[in-house]
Amino acid sequence: MFVVCLIVFGMAFRPTASTNMTHQAQESITIGIVIVHEKEQPDIPTMVADALKKVSAKYNGVEFKDYYIVYDRERLQFGDDERFCDALSQGISMLLDVTWIDSRYISGAAETFGIPYFHVDLSIQTYVKLMESFLLARAGNDVVYILPTPEDVDATIYLLIADSYLRAIVFGELDEDTVTRIKDLRPYPSFYAIVAGTMQMNAILHQAIDGGLVRKPEKWNLLFTDLQTDKYAHEDTFPEMHRLLLDRSACCILMQQSAPCVCPESFDPMHVHLANILDAIVGWSIDTVPTHLVRSLNCTPQLDQEEVARISTARGDLLSQMALMTHFWIAEDYSLIRPNVNLSIISSAKTNQIIGSVAQGQSVVLAGNETFQPSKRFFRVGTTESVPWAYRKRDAGGKVLRNPINGEPVWEGYCIDFLHQLSIVMNFDYDLVSPRNGTFGLRDPDGRWDGLVGDLVTGEIDFAIASLKMTAEREEVVDFVAPYFEQTGILIAMRKPVRETSLFKFMTVLRLEVWLSILLAIVATAVMLWLLDKFSPYSAKNNKDAYPYECRNFTLKESFWFALTSFTPQGGGEAPKALSGRTLVAAYWLFVVLMLATFTANLAAFLTVERMQTPVQSLEQLSRQSRIKYTVVKDSDTHDYFRNMKNAEDVLYQMWRNLTLSSGNDQAQYRVWDYPIKEQYINILSAIESAEPVATAADGFRRVNEHLDADFAFIHDSAEIRYEISRNCNFTEVGEVFAEQPYGIAVQQGSHLQDELSYFILELQKERYFESLTAKFWNNSARSQCPNTDDSEGITLESLGGVFIATLVGLTLAMITLLGEVIYYRRKESNRNFIKVAPFGNVDRPPIERSDKRFALKEKSIAAVKHLLDLDSTPPGNRAHGGAMKIGTKREKPIPKEITIGSKFVSAAEKQQKLSYIAIMPRNPIH
């Protein structure tokens, strides 16, 4: 690509004569020189005049006639130019061409008239050619030249057209518009090159730095065309830049002096070069063809073939001799005479060390073991935000982080890591570029694409790496390389239902009215049981003859206790004896069994339903309900999928409708009452539009997370959904993946990168690189911190914690009851009057006068026993006189069988087998 300026050149003619020569009439030699130059070279006459002064001082008696013609490139002929013809009428010895390219018209006119032709370079082309040799040594293939003047730009463009091996773009003076154009170059250049004097170099670099062009200093190369490099202002700012400086030896070579020599401050290589050429040509003309002077009065060639051949041969010999001179540089098979400007290659990165030189124009020689760092290719890579593929890094506040060096956003993600690995194995540098319009790429009704696909079509980027699906529509305008990711598709994401935590959730298994009914049944059963036991003649209470042993007395308290304990698997204890009571108990037990079974079954079902994660399990179920809303990202691949499926259903319906309504008899077999294809996607797209598609995937996940009742779903790319699920415990996927498609890198159609990228992707697959990259971004380690909600999970404490609380409450009530019993018992005992009695063994002893209540209680107890037995005893007065009490001497009624008195134990069970206990005291209360 070249930036070419079309310029119309005028013509001028100015014959002059050298006024500083010494003329000798007998030996005078006249040399007519025609100098053809560009209109943009107004200083050429002055340069030639100065050079002729130096030459005339060396060759006395030589008269110079110099004619200057401004070349007109619009003319297809040069030999019939009137100014050239005027010069021919006075005589021409040689034609000096200092135009920017070897014009075949100028050289052809010289050959037609037999005039020796010499093409001399006095422009910036020599320096540009030296820079090109240096860049080729650095393995460059493209470059942006930045030159100080429009004349230099034009000269460089003509050089690039005729003789260049690089893909080059040329710019003149830098301004805001030029800086913007350089930034927008596609593809990104491998190198930048500035060719200018020191002061001009400072100004150009200052503008480039301010415009943000110098982001990779190692790609910038500077060539100084003067010896004032000590005034270079950016040596310490960008040490990575390579500098090509005029070597001091170049001054000595061009001035044809032995090194070391003293170079004047105003040393200009081109002025010295022009003087050297005129010196060589004039000397050759005097020595070889002293009488050769071509004249023509009417621009008609009058050639002496032998003379022309001799002059042509002599000219060739002269050029061969000049090619061997150290101060000339004449390339092979090319007659352009350039100055031999040797350059020193300076690398500031190595403390201003000379690492090499450029000699004889094309020979780059490195010093010692120095080597050039291999040049890396540079690509503009397109991407767009899509988590986790590629996204701008943000801080905690959501602000985009930027690179402190170039101010560009910092990107991260799967594709960014993948691109970095590709840049290593393929050895290239890159810039990440986001599309100005759109994201991945949509085609408008006019067929134009935006987004990444559009940037590839227009050449804004070299290739695109993102979550870009390979579709047939995109394949029409771009090419895809081998897929780098497994098949991905569309998936549904929903929020897990939020469980209502309650310690008494088990109580919600039955409704409040059921619990009240159960309580009423317990109370009613207890009251009925008490009444039946009280009034039934066959109860244990009313039929003691049938039940002489102790039986359970169903008081109201005992009846309530029986009803409560019967509600547990432990049972209620001893049942009533009457048939009516047992009938009531049997009915109550049947009620208890049914209620316990019902509660157990409903509790299990209730807890199982509670653990269900989503109310729908597929896209079909989602489309058949109306409670759960769902949406997609607007104009995304998923949105396009549902649009296309809806359009397909519409077309199929029209085809079926036309088929069944056709009047042909053969179509009768298709006539049915119902449409045979389900209109699923029509309903889905309608529901999506009613729920309003979201702008980004982040908005979709946010809306799902806000619906705590799991009544909203987000349909999106399966890889992104699974990534979000691995990071958020609230999300879950629904159903299976559908509409699967691969991801691929997109390149321009016919791009040379397609095969190279495919090759290295396959190499990375063999090294299992993508597996490790997938594990990095779809790592499920975050899920380990989520609460377990699988079906295998046991019943949580939150669901049945109320059972434990009820038990603790019961224990607490039991302890409170115990405390009340102890307090009540102590208070009751403190209010009772006790009588002390003496033991039976001490009854014959005289009483001891003590006021202790314990002895009074003993005496009272003995007297009570005697009274109960109605025994004869010695009156108290006789006991006082030492009389002994005789037991059993007098008895009005027999001793009850339940009482055994005496020194020898006799079991009452031997006489009465029904007794299972031994009574040592009367059963009735003594007091």
Alpha-carbon dihedral sign for residues 599, 603, 606, 608: negative
Token digits for 518? 């159960």
Residue 250: pLDDT over 80? yes
Binding residues: 474, 638, 717
For the segment 660-687, the average pLDDT, to the nearest whole number, is 72
Tell which residue, 531, 307, 421, 418, has the closest CA to residue 774.
Answer: 418
Residue 559: pLDDT over 90? no
pLDDT in tens, 443-472: 888 889 999 999 999 888 889 999 888 888
With 0-12 CB in 10 A as exposed, 13-18 as middle and 19+ as buried, what is 435?
A: buried
Q: Where does the pLDDT of residue 841 fall: very low under 50, low under 70, confident under 90, or very high at 90 and above? A: low
CA distances from 435 to 307, 337, 439, 768 (A): 69, 49, 6, 31
Domain boundaries, the chain: 29-121+266-338, 124-257+340-366, 377-486+742-784, 490-497+615-741, 505-610
Check if CATH label 3.40.50.2300 holds for domain 29-121+266-338: yes
CATH fold of 124-257+340-366: Rossmann fold (3.40.50)
Fold match, 29-121+266-338 / 124-257+340-366: yes
Angle at 907 between CA 903 and CA 912, to 5 degrees: 140
Beta carbons within 10 angstroms of residue 688's beta carbon? 22
- CA 515 from chain centre, in angstroms, equals 56
Tell which residue, 203, 240, 226, 100, has the closest CA to residue 160.
Answer: 100
More confident residue, 803 or 222: 222
Question: What's residue 619's pLDDT?
Answer: 87
Q: What is the CA radius of gyration of the chain?
A: 58
| Highest mean predicted confidence (pLDDT) among 88-92, 428-432, 495-499, 746-750 | 746-750
| Highest mean predicted confidence (pLDDT) among 85-89, 484-488, 681-685 | 681-685
Tell which residue, 358, 471, 809, 796, has the closest CA to residue 607.
Answer: 796
Residue 916: pLDDT over 50? no
Residue 415: pLDDT over 90? yes
Task: Please tell me the distance from the alpha carbon of residue 267 to that of residue 756, in angstroms, as a whole number.
Answer: 50
Question: What's residue 915's pLDDT?
Answer: 46
Strands (E), 615-743: 629-631, 712-717, 731-743
Question: What's residue 49's pLDDT?
Answer: 92
pLDDT in tens, 631-662: 999 888 889 889 989 888 888 888 877 777 76
Domain range 505-610, its CATH number among 3.40.50.1820, 2.40.30.10, 1.10.287.70, 3.40.50.720:
1.10.287.70
CATH number of 490-497+615-741: 3.40.190.10
Q: Where does the pLDDT of residue 897 fall: very low under 50, low under 70, confident under 90, or very high at 90 and above? A: low
Residue 188: pLDDT over 80? no
Beta bridge partners of 353: 347
- CA 599 from chain centre, in angstroms, equals 52
Binding residues for L-glutamate: 474, 638, 717
Mean pLDDT of the chain: 79
Task: Please tell me the distance from the alpha carbon of residue 885 to that of residue 840, in angstroms, as a whole number.
Answer: 11
Alpha-carbon dihedral sign for residues 690, 691, 692, 696: negative
Residue 417: pLDDT over 90? yes
Percentage, residues of the chain above pLDDT 70: 76
Q: Are strands 191-196 and 746-748 parallel, antiparallel or unpaired?
A: unpaired
782 DSSP 8-state letter: G
Question: What's residue 20's pLDDT?
Answer: 36
Q: Where does the pLDDT of residue 829 fall: very low under 50, low under 70, confident under 90, or very high at 90 and above? A: confident
Token digits for 421? 């690995």
pLDDT in tens, 571-627: 778 888 888 888 888 888 888 888 888 888 887 777 666 555 557 888 888 888 888
Question: What's residue 607's pLDDT?
Answer: 67
φ, ψ at 22 (rounded to 5°):
-90, 120
CATH class of the domain whose range is 377-486+742-784: alpha beta
φ, ψ at 38 (rounded to 5°):
-85, 155
What is the DSSP annotation of 789-851? -STTPPPPHHHHHHHHHHHHHHHHHHHHHHHHHHHHHHHHHHTPPP-BB--GGGTTSPPP---
Residue 229: pLDDT over 60? yes
More confident residue, 661 or 861: 661
